[in-house]
Amino acid sequence: MLASYAVEHSRGRRYPEPTHPYRNDFQRDRDRVIHSRAFRRLEAKTQVFTRRYSDHFRNRLTHTLEVAQISRTIAGQLGLNVYLVEALALVHDIGHPPFGHAGERALDAVMGKHGFSFDHNLHALRIVEDFELRYAAFPGLNLTFEVREGIIKHSRDYSAREFPELAEYLLDQRPPLEAQLIDITDELAYNTADLDDGYEAKLLTLEQIIEGVPLFAQLFREIEQRYPDAQKKLQFNEVLRRMLDRWVGDLIENTRGQIQQSGVATLDDLRACAHRLAGLSPEIEAERRQTKQFLHRNLYFTPALEPEKEAAERIITDLFELWMTHPEKLPGNYREKAQSEPLARVVCDYIAGMTDPYIYEQYEKHCG
């Protein structure tokens, strides 16, 4: 049973299609995302750590699957449309370029020199609208309005004045709760996952985490008392499970409380609400923020990762400048696109779609 404020039916697709005999619209969207080339490429895109450290660490694909699992659990508890939530979770990172956030910053910087910018949400929309070519009847994946809206609105609000090309996506209204959830579950997933991978990579010590993350320290003392003979790594795992469970449980209860306090009863009420309703309580939000700040201070900007970030910036910058100077070296389909679109955008699209291994190949081929 769906809650009265959940998304029950879609407003439709850009290109009308007949209904499917045994899958609803959002199940079909989920399946289209999973079978897309862009989704498969996430397996070879960095989340935080490259494979120099281990094959066990998260990449964009495994992170995406974790976000989808957490999001489905929360959606089920809140009476939301689980299929829409799953589709949004699976597509939420599809627009990221190679080399993780370092790659995104580098690509935005080189685009800035030509009067443009790079936004992974807007790039994701371009992917599902234009770049994926799987159907004879229409370009892109022809996803429902709700999934396309959620791609751009799940993590931020866009102004119709600054982004007139997005006006069709109800920019003056809140996105449904199904979309609001995704940004928060994304944060909860990677905060705990990055502690895990940082510890496995030996870039974070247990002592560092205990000292820098108060919630972790409190839970670790409890786990040591309960499992005194367990290996430290297993005690560590138990703490992370409890952290994530605590945060997810709070997100469910606090969002439920926010809905009740707001008086929202329908999807139209929710869209007209002055603020987003999905969120953590102040106490738990403070815990999440402390954890994220710890990761920024001790992991994301650790000197050990600097060489890879510098390499990412150099590779993206050099290749971008190469193809801007010598567009004849672009693949044929991109040269064709450059006849009707700004060259900088075309080069950006080409680089953003690459996996880490492929962009290394291109760098070696063109730059030595």
Give the model confidence (pLDDT) of 291-349 as tens digits: 999 999 999 888 888 888 899 999 999 999 999 999 999 999 999 999 999 999 999 99
| CB 277 within 8 Å of CB 177 | yes
**Separation CA 310–CA 72 (nearest Å):** 37
Q: What is the pLDDT of residue 349?
A: 96
Q: What is the pLDDT of residues 55-107, one digit of tens each?
A: 667 889 999 999 999 999 999 999 999 999 999 999 999 999 999 889 999 99
Secondary structure (3-state) at 246: helix
CA 194 from centroid of its chain's CA atoms: 14
Secondary structure (3-state) at 6: coil
Question: Which residues neighbour 198 within 8 Å (Cβ) at sequence distance 6 or greater?
Answer: 48, 204, 295, 298, 299
**Separation CA 288–CA 269 (nearest Å):** 29
Q: What is the pLDDT of residue 54?
A: 61
| CB 305 within 8 Å of CB 194 | no
**Separation CA 215–CA 228 (nearest Å):** 19
User: Where are the alpha helices (H) located in the chain, listed in sequence order?
Assistant: 25-34, 37-41, 60-78, 82-91, 100-112, 120-126, 145-153, 177-200, 206-212, 214-226, 232-262, 267-272, 282-295, 306-325, 332-337, 343-352, 356-367
Distance from first CA to last CA of the chain, Å, rounded? Answer: 59
For the chain, percent of residues with pLDDT exceeding 70: 98
Domain boundaries, the chain: 25-307
Q: What is the pLDDT of residue 108?
A: 96
Q: What is the pLDDT of residue 100?
A: 87
Q: Give kind and range of the element (H or E) at residue 203.
A: none
The first and second tokens of residue 284, run together, are 């738990």
Q: What is the pLDDT of residues 194-249, one digit of tens each?
A: 999 999 989 999 999 999 999 999 999 999 999 999 999 999 999 999 999 999 99
Question: Which one is the CATH code of 25-307: 1.10.3210.10, 3.20.20.10, 3.50.50.60, 3.90.1200.10?
Answer: 1.10.3210.10
Provide the 8-state DSSP code for 1. Answer: -
Residue 282 to residues 103, 171, 288, Cα–Cα distance (Å): 33, 27, 10
pLDDT tops 90 at residue 1: no
Q: What is the pLDDT of residue 48?
A: 75
pLDDT tops 70 at residue 51: no
